[in-house]
Structure 1
Amino acid sequence: MEHGGAPAATSGKAPGPEAATTAGPAPGQALDAEPRTATGSRSVPGIAPDRTFTPTATAGKAPGSAAEPTASAAPGPATGEARTTAGSWGEPGSDAASSRAGSGGAGRTAPRREPGPASTDGATVEAKPGRMSGAPGTATRVGSGAFSRALTGWGFALPFALLFLVFTAGPVAASLFMSVTDLRSADLLHPFDVNVVGLDNYVRLFGDEKFLTAAGNTAVFVVVGVPLTMALALVVALGLNSGLVRFQTLFRVGYYLPVVTSIVAISVVWRFVLQPDTGLLNEFLGLFGIDGPNWLNNQTFALPALIVMGAWRNLGFGMVIFLAGLQAIPKDLYEAATIDGARRFAQFRYLTVPMLRPTMLFVAVITTIGYVQFFEEPFVMTQGGPLDSTLSVAYATYNQFGFGNYGYASAMGYVLFVVVVLLSIAWFRLLRNNVD
């Protein structure tokens, strides 16, 4: 140590030629009498004139303790002003200054605080050019970066946007225009020469007996099929969730398998079951002396047979959704209900059903949309017969397109669309009351 001063209290400073601070002026010497440099900064005896006096904070110092200053080299002549940071011993009136004076630091000179960069928590902060300092060109860089990101995003979305416009939005708009025209297959060579008939196609629909028959069959299929499918799916889900069934995974796969099976394969199986002479169902009824009808060629039983087939085919989807909803209900609620004396049916009515309302809403809407548009079952099994007893609106729309009545068929499609929207709204009104 030179000049008999205290050791430097630096944090992480590399060893260098800087000397520690020296002892203060002689006792009795006034602070105002301290020599200054030509620029007005104070000089400390024993420190070379080309060095400025900069105190540094000691890492880990206790509050109120004095931070030891060190001398740091400054380029050029001694023109730098000595600065102190907030909380250092050199600031008048600070606790560190009083602690220093009371611990034998009397007689040392405290460097005067001079204007300098702003400081926070004892650390000097100096502004640097960049975005925060309002440097020239910052706004231009930010704007160009946002535009580049937006351009990249649209580049990724462009393939989907083009496909959507060409294969979805375009056909929808074209069919809406077709529904108010008398477009037929013979007009395809000159599609812009068709006549706009307004709502005549829609008015004509409600006077068409075949369309009204198809609408009635579709209504029966929806009104009977949707509750039946939901009930069967919920019963199966409750059984699989009860923990009483072994090989649950096998049963889940078995119930869901018809959902992903081709309708052609399903129709082959159900035709074999519903055959009038050698079908499995009539063979089973024959054991009890019952002569089974010709299920698919009877006006009374053809549509119910398709409803049962549709419910069997689609209950797997509802079962999976209901099972997920049941497993999301906390077990603590059932334990509390059991402690309170609630029986199984009371738990199902007052606990399971209210908690399953969101799940029921989803299954009801999806199943209704599918059943309103049911087409595959009559197309494969009965071709709409016998005597249009299984004709659906979707099947009638398909037939009209086949006949070349494009405008009339488009009107049928939009009527079906409106019915789907209204039924979905009805389900939301019915089941959404207690859905958060």
Structure 2
Amino acid sequence: MKTTINQVSNHVGEEVVIGAWLANKRSSGKIAFLQLRDGTGFIQGVVVKAEVSEATFSQAKNLSQETSVFITGTVVEDSRSPFGYELQVDEIEIIHEAVDFPITPKEHGTEFLMDHRHLWLRSKKQHAIMKIRNEIIRATYNFFNEEGFVKIDPPILTGSAAEGTTELFHTKYFDEEAYLSQSGQLYMEAAAMAFGKVFSFGPTFRAEKSKTRRHLIEFWMIEPEMAFMDHEDSLRVQENYVSYIVKSVLDNCKLELHTLERDIEKLEKITVPFPRITYDEAIDLLKQKGFTDITWGEDFGAPHETAIAESFDKPVFITHYPTKIKAFYMKPDPDRPEVVLCADLIAPEGYGEIIGGSQRIDDLKLMEQRYEEHQLTGDAYQWYLELRKYGSVPHAGFGLGLERTVAWISGAEHVRETIPFPRLLNRLYP
């Protein structure tokens, strides 16, 4: 019976056939241990010389790394294995023999591994990170569907920018200027006015010349927008969503977290409510921690975010940033217009901002004023202004960066390991 590694628990004591690749092996004179993978998981195949033909044992000892095979064997429980099962091998059918696989079981430099990303994805740790990414995506759809959100897909090619055009990729759209989307938010606001609660999940692009472990040129964003909801409502959705995806990973990716040696006790603390501090309180906290040069009105960089996060064992909201350093569409605090009703969610353990969100301006006159201040008077933004003209309502939304979230939950050192084929400042290959 053909099966897959993730289904062997249903076939204990039965003989099965699994199509697999050889990830690694070791052998002695009387027994060979084959580390097999099939895309769904990893399992050890045990080949005992006295229990198989001479030809089969010879095959097992001489298999090369990444050779593809059909393995026939009996599934047995194995309490020593994190997976819980192994395969007592009876027969081996070679499909294709791999020769001189470049990524051997030894240390390789980062650039070498990135040049061979198409092959590096096969490794156990990279496989585990991608499975956790997949679980976060699955949980994201579950959460927003359960909460009554409608999935809407904004365009990738746009004629306007959500937060200014200085860090956008320009392109020609026939005879017009166009940009690769840096956010679907403006379009999601339009969708919220039609459907109430909406979310998008898609690629975004930032032409930001940054080489930090938190930055990618192309990354994926989850961007919900909610009509008839304010800043406080949005914060509650955000913390519920983040705690939901963390719990889903804890429940469904135990083996992957074990493979990555992730400290799950830290993840088990991620429950609502999340702590909140204002921008003003964050400034005071930073000064206490030795950042004496920081002044009110500056944005926070990675060292600031890390220092703030060290004071908490959960993600922390930093709210009410100065109006002048935030996007034109954010609603000022009615009681203090020099700050806006916004929040950044900072992940623990030095992973930085994973969510940015705010209540949006819903007043037509104020938005017109913002247009003048930011020189957004062209036709490209006319449709966005009209959202305030025809049935405007209080509304709020946020964007979660998938790769930073995967890095934090999986414990990956760099976001380049959290996306299948990363696009970095110096990398467009493979």
Tell me the TM-score normalised to structure 2 length: 0.20
Larger Rg: 1
Tell me the TM-score normalised to structure 1 length: 0.20
Q: Which has the higher strand share?
A: 2
